[in-house]
Structure 1
Amino acid sequence: METPYPNPISPGKTRIGWIGIGVMGGAMASRLLSAGYSITVYARSPAKAAALQSQGAHLASSPSEVASHSDVVFTMVGHPSDVRSIVLESQGRGILAGLGPGGVMVDTTTSDPALAREIFAAARAKGCWSVDSPVSGGDIGARDGKLAIFAGGDAGVVDWLSPLYGVMGKVSYMGKAGCGQSCKIANQIVVGANLLGLSEGLVFAERAGLDVRQFMNAVRGGAAGSMVMELFGERMIGRDFRPGGFAEYMVKDMGMGVDFVEENENERGGVPVLPGAALGKQLFVGMVANGDGHLGTQGLITVIERLNGK
């Protein structure tokens, strides 16, 4: 089977496809366009592609058409069901239906590790490759090219992709197919806990009569400081809940960790107990139930405020 290795990636030669051009995907694709790469995009609502088209992107009518014009196809969609549909189940219009031998599919969606392994096997059966490489860093990281990228799949293919990853952030190779997704789920468990701690700290500080901005500036250089505080602290204080990532997606992300525990509870010796993740998931479920699922994840503070009668 062909491999991509003999053909090094370069802006003048490597054709890129992109599916999923929301807040994160649009910013990531824009950086590749600015770096000189030719990009073909697909959007279920074509009007959403206007900004990228103004930068020179080409618009395709289906995922398979994107793939047929690409050497590497990136996806950044909402849920594992969307990934499955776009890659495997689009009635002959999916990515693998259009991707030629030696082509590479890169899923940056936060998705299911088992699905990543299934897609890897399906891609190899076609003479193609797939890499699961979800990202962390939010809309700011996507815009500034400072994302943390967690890659699972063939190590050689991940290394071959490094010029593209370098435009978007810093990639870490995590292991075989599915390991990138497992790393991102663990990442989201940590992010959720940090968002909860920051939310409770701000609510407590306000109730204690502190100036909340002064509080945050006092503690950010100590052990309480975190990237979550840097990304979201000012947004929380300023009531800026515009999404870099939707709160409803945290239900999915943390839920995959909690579901892993529940599905493997009879194998307790090798399965972690995650009470914090379970609580965090329920608090984000509360956000969705309050009608706030499309707020940014920093909107978690509104749940803590509601619990405190605000």
Structure 2
Amino acid sequence: MATPYPKPVIPSQTRLGWIGTGIMGSLMASRLLAAGYSLTVYNRTIEKALALQSQGAHVVSSPIEVARRSDVVFTIVGNSRDVREVTLGPNGVLPGLNPGGVVVDMTASHPALAREMFAAARAKGCWSVDAPVSGTDVGAREGKLAIFAGGDGAVVAWLKPLFDIMGEVTYMGEAGCGQSCKLANQIAASAVLVGLSEGLVFAERAGLYLNKFLDAVREGTAGSRLMDLFGERMIRKDYRPTAFAEYVVKDLGMALDSLEETDEQRTVAVPGAELTKQLYSAMVANGDAKIGIHGVKTVIERINGK
């Protein structure tokens, strides 16, 4: 079926909806408001949407109300169950979206759900794009997120002016490919944080000054964007979240679960991801589910008797 979006042009009067105003969502939505778009917002906890209301957003009481007032609806919520509820549920986005409307899910969710949403959207003449993001609150505030998009390529191109406000979008392929890219990103990123944690604990036990250690290795092969973002915070034991540790457990769990759904020729062993999930699960068991993802250093310290 031909796409209704032959040109990558988003008119300024396009009505936007936003569902989910957590740490990342509120900052991303704020950038769309600052760019001059009208925004209708829903959040399960209404108080978390009031800051956007003060910036000019219209706050409503349900996802279906957002859809009825919007041409494009963005969602960024907690997990796949939440995504299903706010998009496919009886009071969700798709029941209220007019034909030709688009729902863009930016939650880290399951690839199979993204494919289900795409099929459901097409069945009523709408479109669905899975577009999870990578980056911290700083990236969200500055519009420098990495965005991984799956779905119809022409629709993603049409949405690009909106994505450009939030970061840099890469089209990954058909529905579900954006989510698969996000899960692969989480496998790589969480393993880097575990390695950085072990390096810091080892360096401290060896009697090194930790800031000097970071400065020494930052430009070498051990240096990384994650070291720049979190290294000094980890030394200060500043574990305030940009994303919660429990989300890593969720994302790695989805990655391992999605591997079980693939056919035999595509199955891949990821022993590092299995181990990393165990370490982050230990954080949750220790009562640290709501601290930052870089707090995995606390698990390495506990293992070492600190």
TM-score range, shorter chain: over 0.9
Cα drift, residue 40 of structure 1: 0.5
Cα drift, residue 4 of structure 1: 4.3
Whole-angstrom CA distance in 2 between matches of 1:15 and 1:237: 45
Alignment of 1:257-276 (within 5 A): 257-264=255-262, 267-276=263-272
Other-structure match for 1:226: 224
Other-structure match for 2:204: 206
What per-residue deviation string (whole Å, max 9, x for no partner) do you get for residues 12-63 of structure 1? x111100000001001001111111110000111111111111101001110
Whole-angstrom CA distance in 2 between matches of 1:231 and 1:6: 37
Other-structure match for 1:58: 58
Residue 243 of structure 2 is aligned to residue 242 of structure 1: no
Residue 286 of structure 2 is aligned to residue 290 of structure 1: yes
Whole-angstrom CA distance in 1 between matches of 2:8 and 2:133: 26
Alignment of 1:96-245 (within 5 A): 96-245=94-243
Task: Identify if the C-alpha distance between structure 1 residues 46 and 4 changes in structure 2 by more than 3 Å, giving closer, same or farther.
Answer: farther
Other-structure match for 2:11: 10
Cα drift, residue 259 of structure 1: 2.1
The letter of the residue matching 1:279 is: L
Whole-angstrom CA distance in 1 between matches of 2:49 and 2:259: 39
Other-structure match for 2:297: 301
- 8 Å contact from structure 1 (residues 4, 102) kept in 2: no
What per-residue deviation string (whole Å, max 9, x for no partner) do you get for residues 98-152 of structure 1? 1101100000000000000000000000100000000001211111110000000
Q: Say which SS state the counterpart of residue 122 (structure 2) adopts.
A: helix
Task: Identify if the C-alpha distance between structure 1 residues 4 and 62 changes in structure 2 by more than 3 Å, giving closer, same or farther.
Answer: farther
Equivalent residue in structure 2 for 1:279, among 275, 278, 286: 275
Instruction: Give the structure-2-normalised TM-score.
Output: 0.97
Residue 30 of structure 2 is aligned to residue 30 of structure 1: yes
- 8 Å contact from structure 2 (residues 230, 294) kept in 1: yes
Instruction: Give the structure-1-normalised TM-score.
Output: 0.96
Other-structure match for 2:76: 76
Cα drift, residue 7 of structure 1: 8.8
Q: How many correspondences in the alignment?
A: 305
Cα drift, residue 256 of structure 1: 1.4
CA RMSD of superposed structures (Å)? 1.4
Whole-angstrom CA distance in 1 between matches of 2:37 and 2:62: 20
**Unpaired segments ≥5 residues, structure 2:** none
Cα drift, residue 3 of structure 1: 2.2
What per-residue deviation string (whole Å, max 9, x for no partner) do you get for residues 76-97 of structure 1? 00110000011112x3x11001
- 8 Å contact from structure 1 (residues 4, 103) kept in 2: no
Q: Say which SS state the counterpart of residue 161 (structure 1) adopts.
A: helix
**What is the identity percentage for the equivalent residue pairs of Structure 1 and Structure 2?**
64
Cα drift, residue 240 of structure 1: 1.2
**Unpaired segments ≥5 residues, structure 1:** none
Other-structure match for 2:42: 42
Whole-angstrom CA distance in 2 between matches of 1:9 and 1:263: 37
Cα drift, residue 6 of structure 1: 6.6
Cα drift, residue 247 of structure 1: 0.3
The letter of the residue matching 2:46 is: P
Whole-angstrom CA distance in 1 between matches of 2:243 and 2:225: 15
Whole-angstrom CA distance in 1 between matches of 2:171 and 2:109: 17
Whole-angstrom CA distance in 2 between matches of 1:224 and 1:29: 34
